[in-house]
Structure 1
Amino acid sequence: MADQNNARSERLLKWLQDAYAMEQEAETMMKAMASRIQNYPHLAARIAQHVQETQRQAASLRQCIEALGGSVPTAKGLFASMTAALHAAGTSLMEDEVVKSVGLSFGFENTEIATYRALVIAAERAAAPDIAAVCGQILQEEIAMARWLEDHQDGLVGAFLNRDETPGAQAKR
């Protein structure tokens, strides 16, 4: 039984480290996106809010990782941040950047939702209720962000199309 508990804790630790790297990637992507948004202030405000949530989430994950005797994955986090920066640079070249960014962000949020659902289950199995509670709270924040993106996508796409059809207006950002 002790071996099973150790294996569960090790799996939980690895998944927490992966989630920490994912949050580093998310922060890099969202900061890049927020810095370029010019004509969609409610999107910029919500992205800025989620950047702050993401920073708190990463700090909470760090505490969970350290509580299990682990450390944050610097190489994995650096790679995730570099990947996000390259992705953001590629998106910035698209003529419909804001529309593509909302879609990509929605997909990323759903990946985070799946990750935190798995982490809640893993933490419960590893007899780590405090970690399960932290991951459950993060899960709710990710669900809220995904819903916000879904609820506002039609309006954002409509605003983009209106700007795109208006001579002299910049729609891209």
Structure 2
Amino acid sequence: MTDAREHLLDWLRDAHAMEQQAEQMLKAQAARIEHYPELKARIEQHIEETLGQQALLEGCITRLGSSPSRLKDAMGKVAAMGQAIGGMVASDEIVKGSMAGYVFEHMEIASYRTLIAAAEALGDQETRAACERILVEEEAMARWLQDHLPDVTRQFLERADTPGATAKK
């Protein structure tokens, strides 16, 4: 196997682990949201997209004669658990979670752009197509977060100023 193909496989395994991490983070965040129904609904939609992305990546990895990295997948899940626990203690959890989600989406976007370029360089049109499909979903989620972060922030501040209201989640 060529070094370039090994890099592609390694990056696909990284992306699979990243999607495992995203799934755990999104599920933890959605479970804790109580007062931001639009954000919760979009996160739940993205959980479904993330599960489909995992399947697409697994298909690419398997087609290339390998399997996802159990170690990388486990590390991604552990990192997500740490992020969820850290968010629970923040008084502005909903705002920080939204900001973190926006940043994470851009990391995913960079990863898929890299995978698309690598697949293209290797002539792997199936991997390229799968990653292009995933990229569209990640860009849509990043745009949604970008467009809605001001509203989430305003809603948080309004709830924070309301006596007896819980604003953080």
Identify whether the pair has TM-score above 0.5, normalized to the shorter chain: yes
Corresponding residue for residue 50 of structure 1: 46
Secondary structure in 1 aligned to 2:109? helix
Instruction: Look up the equivalent residue of 2:72 and give its one-letter code.
Output: K
In the alignment, residue 34 of structure 2 is paired with which amino acid?
A: Q
Cα distance in 1 for residues equivalent to 2:27 and 2:152: 19
Q: What CA deviation, in whole Å up to 9, does each residue of 1:119-168 have, x standing for no partner?
A: 00000111101110100010010000000000000111000000000111
**Identity over aligned pairs, percent:** 47
* 1:28-52 per-position Cα deviation (integer Å, ceiling 9, x unaligned): 0000000000000000000000000
| Corresponding residue number in structure 2 for 1:142 | 138
Q: Which amino acid aligns with 2:118?
A: A
Question: In the alignment, which residue of structure 2 is the partner of 1:20?
Answer: 16
Structure 2 segments unaligned to the other structure (5+ residues): none
Once residues 80 and 89 of structure 1 are traced to their aligned partners in structure 2, the CA distance between those partners, rounded to angstroms, is: 14
Choose the corresponding residue for 2:124, options 111, 125, 128: 128
CA RMSD of aligned residues (A): 0.8
- Measured in 1, the distance between the counterparts of 2:119 and 2:88 equals 38
Unaligned 5+ segments in structure 1 are none
Superposed displacement of residue 7, structure 1: 2.1
Give matches, 1:74-89, under 5 Å. 74-89=70-85
SS of the equivalent of 1:172 reads coil
> For 1:76 and 1:144, how far apart are their aligned partners in 2?
26
Note the alpha carbon deviations across 1:102-127, whole angstroms, 9 max, x for none.
00000000000000000000001111
Letter in 1 for 2:108: E
Segments ≥4 residues shifted beyond 3 Å: none
Alignment counterpart, residue 40 of structure 1, candidates 36, 41, 45:
36
Counterpart check, 1:108 vs 2:104? yes
2: distance between equivalents of 1:115 and 1:128? 16
Q: CA shift at 1:83, angstroms? A: 1.1
**Secondary structure in structure 2 of the residue aligned to 1:170:** coil
Aligned with residue 161 of structure 1, among 146, 154, 157: 157
Cα deviation for residue 10 of structure 1 reads 1.2
- The whole-number CA distance in structure 2 between the counterparts of 1:108 and 1:70 is 26
Count of residues in Structure 1 that have an aligned counterpart in Structure 2 = 169
Could you tell me which residue of structure 2 aligns to residue 118 of structure 1?
A: 114
